[in-house]
Structure 1
């Protein structure tokens, strides 16, 4: 597995073997059962996670209803940036959607590594920039596209969502009622 993770990390920063070794030695894989939380709303986020296997969903609760904002699959990084950066309670929860294995990069260890290696600091900056771009892309779905266009976008860009995520979670992610999603799926 570390080959895939190594390629993902090196796609974001040119790390020497020494810097990559420091980074890898600061973490290890962590298996987590389906439905378990990596972060609960109200907790302070203290890590960035890399998904080796399975998937995570990021959501918040409004009026007792869960609103999905992101699904993170194999080879994705995920965190709650505002809470991680500011050390304030998170507005979001991050939960496993199936049996999952993540690699955990704790903020404390990363900050220590940034002081040891400019290369690792560059990786961290590039990673956070990529995560911000991903968030902006999701936000643009709602600014630019109609519900039908959002569904078509998911079919084109993230077809695996349709096989692995429930219709209820998918409709919440798309910002539409489940019944509306069913109608859109019947008449694409």
Structure 2
């Protein structure tokens, strides 16, 4: 009996070892579980469009006459520094997500489901109908302006630009459910709201 029992135990051990070996051999053939996406589609859309939005803020600063009031120049420089820092963060997220810098359908994440962008006069203002964006004509006008005219135009365009960015960030905050992108959107609302107030104060002095 002891011999049969020992044989049975050995057979069971061999069977278990064989099953383990088969499992290890078959494991590479089984599909690996899909990794969760780094960013959701809404986050990617918001980040891509905010890259475009921030980039134009830098253009506004670049086209401002360097001979304007130092107070305006200082605020413009502060805005540019903030926008560059956030732009680097946004681009880093897109690289991690393996997403392109620009989407194929700008502002789609912000439109109601089923809504489509209409061609025509409204779309001609900017190809993405992005809130607060300056037109090509306004950018050219700013580049040609000097002195007080440049100050007023810059302050108006940048304040409108910030209000547009706040609108986008507030929509993202409402659509998202936690995460770094939503926290960044909330920071943008606070930071750009504060800057928009300063822009308004400088604009009131020139009114």
Q: TM-score, normalised by structure 1?
A: 0.31
**Counting strand residues as a fraction of each chain, which structure ranks higher?**
1
Of structures 1 and 2, the larger Rg is shown by 2
**Counting helix residues as a fraction of each chain, which structure ranks higher?**
2
